[in-house]
Amino acid sequence: MALYECVLIARQDISAAQAEQLSEQFAQIVRDNGGTIAKSEYWGLKTLTYKIKKNRKGHYTLFNIDAPSAAVVEMERNMGISEDVLRFMTVRVDELDANPSAMMQSRNERGDRGERGDRGPRRFDDRGPRPPRRQENVAAAEGETA
């Protein structure tokens, strides 16, 4: 059997529970056709870069699939029919990643960014203190307004 990754975007006006139920429905289609879902991740409601079918946001879900191509074709056919699915994309991969996807990792786990000291002083710290203002310019400006 082949390995696939599939990401689907569901409409914004369905609830998170309905989005989970929708993804379970597509996972069951894969299972009924002889495949398995290795991993399913609900990424949440995210803002779209541009409007899709008058929607500004969408519920994102990722599937890691180990299934024959007929099962994936049937799942994609049902996604195309469903009114709740805005977009989907399925890609064949060489191997499935068992770790959480980049979207599920928290910012702290993505790598130690370090403190400011690791990058050196701030750009403006090397200028030193600001020189005092010249008094004649301040006096002239006050005399013009009076």
How confident is the prediction for the chain on average, in pLDDT? 84
pLDDT, tens digit, 9 for 90 and up, residues 5-31: 999 999 999 999 999 999 999 999 999
Average pLDDT in the 90-97 region?
Answer: 91
Average pLDDT in the 50-65 region?
Answer: 93
Extract long-range pairs of 115-124: CB within 8 Å, 24+ residues apart.
none
Q: Name the helix (H) or strand (E) containing 71.
A: helix 69-81
SS3 88: strand
Average pLDDT in the 57-66 region?
Answer: 94
pLDDT reported for residue 115: 58
Q: How confident is the model at residue 100 (pLDDT cuts 50, 70, 90)?
A: confident
Q: In terms of pTM, does the model score above 0.85?
A: no
pLDDT over 90 at 76, yes or no: yes
Using a 10 angstrom Cβ sphere, with 0-12 exposed, 13-18 middle and 19 or more buried, the burial of residue 7 is: middle
